[in-house]
Amino acid sequence: MHIVRAFDEDLKYLSGRIAAMGGLAERMVEQSVAALVHHDAPMAQKVIADDRLLDEAQRDIDEKAIAVIARRQPLADDLREIIGAIRISADLERVGDLGKNNAKRVVAITASRQPVQLFRGLQALSDLALTQLKDVLDVYASRAVDTLGFVRDRDDQIDAMYTSLFRELLTYMMEDPRNITPCTHLLFCAKNIERIGDHATNIAETVYYIATAEQLPIDRPKGDKSHRVTLDVPEAAK
Amino acid sequence: MSEQETSKGSRAMAEPPAGRLAQARWTLVAAALAIGAVTAAAGGSWLLAVGALAAVAAVAAFAPRRTRSMRRADSAAAAAQFPLDRLSALRLAAAVPDPLIVFDAAGVIVHANPAAEITFGPVLRGVDLQLRFRAPEMQDLIGKALSGTADGAVVDYAERLPVERLYRVSATPLGDATGLFVLVFKDQSEVRRIDRMRADFIANASHELRTPLASIAGFIETLRGPARDDPAARDRFLEIMQAQTARMARLIDDLLSLSRLEMKPFVKPGETVDIVQVAAGVADALGQRAADAGVVVERHFPAGPVMVAGSRDELTQVFENLLENAIKYGQAGKRVTLTVERAPGAPKPQVDVTVRDFGPGIAEEHIPRVTERFYRADVDSAQKGTGLGLAIVKHILTRHNARLTINSSPGEGAAFVVHLPAG
């Protein structure tokens, strides 16, 4: 509680705005993948249109945060709260961009009928990334930062899943050159989703900092090994 | 209210004598006049008359007015009224099976009933409602409720992760000007799930049954054509066809059991089961299968029961699938170990159950994917399994708030570890 009640209201406004952004970003990512799996172009269009709302929300948060800093000269946890809001909104805005990029690829990927197993891995990857984002935003709401242990484990899972998916898509491309167009787009989609997981991890770090004034330890092992994946061309194809 | 009434009742019993005398004033005046008249007429002693009057006054002041049965009826009526009036709103909320969240005019959660804590997680009180329910339609509903324009507003709210659910949510102010509101979540998942289940089942079944069907059709064609008079080939083909039809039957079983699982509601709170008993039961049930495959199942169980929260049937299915896989894919290792141990775990204690085989193991790139539906690590295993066993395991464990970790390196076998929250 602050002596100036308007200050409390400012802080509440910021966190409420973050929550709304988070909800919208989650929805966009979910819908972009659903549009891919179900070949739903109108839904992809909706995702692309929704991105505007996220951009506007981020600008609003930035302006409001700067105004609060200028007017109230906050210190300690209040200052962390406001700086944290700026950082989280930037991460969420990126999440929205990545979702939008996936949605833009829907038309190219679904131009011809694709076999269903092409999308199964992507669906599983996006479920993991979205669970990460959801759990992290739940911790932002509850401030129960002692439960943040799951973040690193799941980040590793996302990376491992991405590496595996990368390999699988390469296999499809080798099997049949007609797969190259959709699989290349799907590779970018998978990369986008992996990036969404990274942004969720960033948000977790910011939330931890807001609540404890300490940084999460840096030793973040990189589980993404896709930069090392190579596949040999099978004998028959040579 | 009843409290006031009961205290009023007891106060009447202990009312000061002056008040009771005032209540009985007309009777007393009449008695005084009567005694005076009788004394005057009969020429009796005035001293006796005053004494008689004092006695009447004393009775009026102290003797109970109501008969005993009247008093008993009074207290019985009070007792009958007691529970409903004294019923706490929190206890009422706890008895409601639907999630129910009470929040104040600032949008902060002041109470969540047990159903809500099971569905939305334990950390709810004191949390800003709009931070927890971020979906655009929920933001809208809460905003409307707080600004007082949500009278009876209802939205459909879907959560897809970790388990799919659909709710019809209503926001209503509580009482007159209490400044409190209540969100009621009516579970609609079943309706949606039945639809989805049908669609999914048809899609999956038609896709997955096509391969074995095509292979059977091919063999039939060969049997009617080139292999018509070749008894050796006929036997071999019929054997393959039998294996394929058996696989199709298994696939349908697995698809049905997965669909049924998706239909069922969540694990009930407070349901616990002895995991040692479950694991031992599974090992017994699969003993013959293991012996046929030449595999020894070694058990490492702690003494005494180890309780975990969960449903016996579903956990039995988890360990059946895991042990069956270990026997099937780890046959080359000749042994499988089944271990139950208590683990410290953070933030809560947990129980780890490990099913380990010593077969060829799983390649690193397949590990993150093996729980996906119809994912097959290699072409060989496509012949053996339906691609659904681990998907079923994963689904059940998600419902139990449990995790599955898989450790394996090629050539050294695979360990499937189930981390269950201790009960």
CB contact under 8 A, A138 and B130: no
Strand order of the sheet with strand B296-300?
B296-300, B335-343, B350-357, B414-421, B403-408
B373 Cβ under 8 Å from any chain A Cβ: yes
CB contact under 8 A, B161 and A147: no
Q: In this structure, what are the phi and psi dihedrals at residue B66, rounded to the nearest 5 degrees? A: -100, 150
Q: Which residue has the tokens 């002895």?
A: B274
- Determine the pLDDT at residue B85: 64
B134 Cβ under 8 Å from any chain A Cβ: yes
Could you read off the pLDDT of A171-201 as tens digits, one per residue?
888 988 888 888 999 999 999 999 999 999 9
Query: Strand pairing partners for B159?
Result: B165
- In three-state form (DSSP H/G/I as H, E/B as E, the rest C), the secondary structure along chain B is CHHHHHHHHHHHHCCCHHHHHHHCHHHHHHHHHHHHHHHHHHCCCHHHHHHHHHHHHHHHHHCCCCCHHHHHHHHHHHHHHHHHHHCCHHHHHHHCCCCEEEEECCCEEEEECHHHHHHHCCCCCCCEHHHHCCCHHHHHHHHHHHCCCCCCEEEEEEECCCCCEEEEEEEEECCCCCCEEEEEEEECHHHHHHHHHHHHHHHHHHHHHHHHHHHHHHHHHHHHCCCCCCHHHHHHHHHHHHHHHHHHHHHHHHHHHHHHHHHCCCCCCCCEEEHHHHHHHHHHHCHHHHHHHCCEEEEECCCCCCEEECCHHHHHHHHHHHHHHHHHHCHHHCEEEEEEEEECCCCCCEEEEEEEECCCCCCCCCHHHCCCCCCCCCHHHHHHCCCCHHHHHHHHHHHCCCEEEEEECCCCCEEEEEEEEEC
**CA-to-CA distance for B142 and A235, rounded, in angstroms?**
62
Token pair, residue B197, equals 């289940």
Span A5-237 CATH architecture? Up-down Bundle (1.20)
B123 Cβ under 8 Å from any chain A Cβ: yes
| HSE of B150, CA atoms in CB hemisphere, 13 A | 23
Token pair, residue A213, equals 């004034």
Interface test with A, best of B123, B134, B409 (most A CBs within 10 A): B134
- Determine the pLDDT at residue A96: 94
Interface test with A, best of B125, B202, B369 (most A CBs within 10 A): B369
Q: Name which residue leads in pLDDT, B45 or A67.
A: A67
Query: Strand pairing partners for B421?
Result: B350
B127 Cβ under 8 Å from any chain A Cβ: yes
Q: Are B1 and B87 in contact (CB under 8 A)?
A: no
- Determine the pLDDT at residue A98: 95
Least confident of A97-106, A222-231, B86-95, B166-175: A222-231
Asked if residue A49 has pLDDT above 60, the reply is yes
Q: State pTM to two decimals.
A: 0.73
Kindly give, in sequence order, each residue whose CB lies less than 8 Å from that of residue A143, ignoring residues fewer than 6 positions away.
A207, A211
- Determine the pLDDT at residue B80: 61
CB contact under 8 A, A12 and B128: yes
A with B: how many residue pairs have Cβ under 8 Å apart?
Answer: 86
For the four alpha carbons of A94, A100, A104 and A105, in that order, the dihedral sign comes to positive
> Exposed, middle or buried, B190 (CB in 10 Å: 0-12/13-18/19+)?
middle
CB contact under 8 A, A141 and B132: yes
**CA-to-CA distance for A189 and A61, rounded, in angstroms?**
28
Which string of b and e fits B348-365 if b means at least 16 CB within 10 Å?
eebbbbbbbbbbbbbeeb
Q: Which residues of A touch B (CB under 8 A)?
A: 12, 15-16, 18-20, 22-24, 26-27, 30, 116-117, 120-121, 124, 127, 130-131, 134, 137-138, 140-142, 144, 146-147, 149, 157, 160-161, 163-165, 167-168
Contacts of B347 in chain A (CB under 8 A): 146-147, 149
Task: Specify the length of chain B in residues.
Answer: 423
Q: Name which residue leads in pLDDT, A220 or B413.
A: B413
- The bridge status of strand B100-104 relative to strand B350-357 is unpaired
ipTM above 0.85?
no
Give per-10-residue mean pLDDT for chain B (423 aa).
42 62 83 84 80 83 75 70 68 85 87 84 78 87 81 80 81 80 84 72 76 86 86 87 86 82 64 88 88 89 87 88 89 89 76 90 84 72 70 86 86 89 77
CB contact under 8 A, A27 and B131: no
Closest CA to B309 of B269, B369, B255: B269
**CA-to-CA distance for B127 and A194, rounded, in angstroms?**
29
CB contact under 8 A, A20 and B375: no
- Determine the pLDDT at residue A223: 56
- Determine the pLDDT at residue B4: 43
Tell me the pLDDT band of A39, cut-offs 50, 70 and 90.
confident
Nearest 5 degrees, angle CA A71-CA A77-CA A81? Answer: 70
Closest CA to A127 of A184, A182, A197: A197
Task: Specify the length of chain A in residues.
Answer: 238
**CA-to-CA distance for B234 and B211, rounded, in angstroms?**
21
**CA-to-CA distance for A74 and A162, rounded, in angstroms?**
42
Q: Could you tell me the residue ranges of all domains in chain A?
A: 5-237
Using CA atoms, how far residue A128 sits from A187, A200, B295, B369, in Å, is 17, 11, 36, 12
CB atoms within 10 A of CB B304: 7
The pLDDT of A132-160, averaged and rounded, is 86
Token pair, residue B291, equals 């012996």
Contacts of B350 in chain A (CB under 8 A): none
In this complex, the residue of B127, B207, B367 whose CB is nearest that of residue A142 is B127
Q: How far is A72 from chain B (nearest CA, A)?
A: 22
Domains belonging to chain B, first-starting first, are 2-86 (no CATH), 89-187 (3.30.450.20), 192-264 (1.10.287.130), 266-423 (3.30.565.10)
Average pLDDT of chain B is 81
